[in-house]
A = this chain, B = another copy of it.
Amino acid sequence: MKIDPQKPADLSAQIAQAIRDAIVSGQLIVDERLPSEAELADQFQVSRPTVREALKRLAAQSLIRTQRGATGGAFVNRLSFEDAYSQQITTSTLLLSMNTVSFDTACEARYALERACARLSAQRRTADQLATMRAEIFRQAQPGLTDEAFCASDVAFHRALVDGAGNPVLSYQLAGAVEAMQPLMNMITFTARSREEIISLHSQIADGLENGDADVVEESLVKLEKYTRKLAHDVAEQRRKPA
């Protein structure tokens, strides 16, 4: 691990990159302890605050964890699926909020990905996952449910559908797509009428998964996508002509 002392600025970024490379290339393995901050400062010929800035960069990416005390230090962190989920969600949410992505584009992507899980989920969903979906559908039908709660339940329903595929890599990849849509979905004020339709389609999906009928699930997802996009379109229309 070497850094170029010629390059002027951002020593901490260079050091972070050097350590990152060492982790990615396998020179540093999971749970291995990095040298202490003082030792790293010596090795890289920089001060301790600079080393610390580098370590914080890595910590922000969940690449290391730190522990205080005598046997403490910075350890190479096993990037768990959970950590990866939340990073993925944060990034996706920001990406959608800070770029002009049309609702249609985001919606299309989300449902295209979700349909990719339909077949696998129809084969593999556990009874537990199916029960979760049924429970969420039940909750969604409760009168007096706030829009936020309805959206959260919607996300939970779709998460269960995705997890039903029994493929953690797939779940990870879709986490962003499903969760990041929630803020966008919140822009649509769900009327009682529109909820009814959505709940009906959710039921069709659950039925399809229960019977292992992937075609029904895919079809219902297509309908759900169309309906969601229509809702968004109507809301946009209303805003244009508020009268």
Residues of A within 8 A of B (CB): 9, 12-13, 16, 20, 23-24, 26, 30, 49, 52-54, 56-61, 63, 68, 78-81, 84, 87-88, 90-99, 101, 105-106, 108-110, 112-113, 115-117, 119-120, 165, 167-170, 172-174, 176-177
Contact = CB atoms under 8 A, between A and B. Distances in A.
Given A24-B97, A169-B105, A170-B112, A79 B56 contact: no
Nearest to A112: B116
Nearest to A114: B116
A224 to B, nearest CB: 15
A14 to B, nearest CB: 13
A12 to B, nearest CB: 6
Residue of A81, A106, A112, A115 with most chain B CB atoms under a 10 A cut-off: A112
A172 B90 CA distance: 14
A101 B169 contact: yes
A16 B56 CA distance: 10
Contacts of A54: 56
A91 B115 CA distance: 24
B60 A61 contact: yes
A23 B97 CA distance: 10
Contacts of A165: 112
B113 A115 contact: no
Contacts of A87: 87, 91
A48 to B, nearest CB: 10
A167 B110 CA distance: 11
Contacts of A115: 116
A88 to B, nearest CB: 7
A146 to B, nearest CB: 19
A112 B172 CA distance: 13
A165 B111 CA distance: 13
Contact of A24 (B24, B61, B63, B94): B94
B167 A173 contact: no
B99 A56 contact: no
Contacts of A173: 92, 109, 113, 173-174, 176-177
B167 A108 contact: yes
Given A113-B116, A113-B173, 15 more contacts: A20-B90, A23-B94, A49-B49, A49-B52, A78-B98, A84-B92, A84-B95, A92-B173, A96-B169, A101-B168, A105-B169, A109-B167, A110-B169, A112-B116, A115-B116
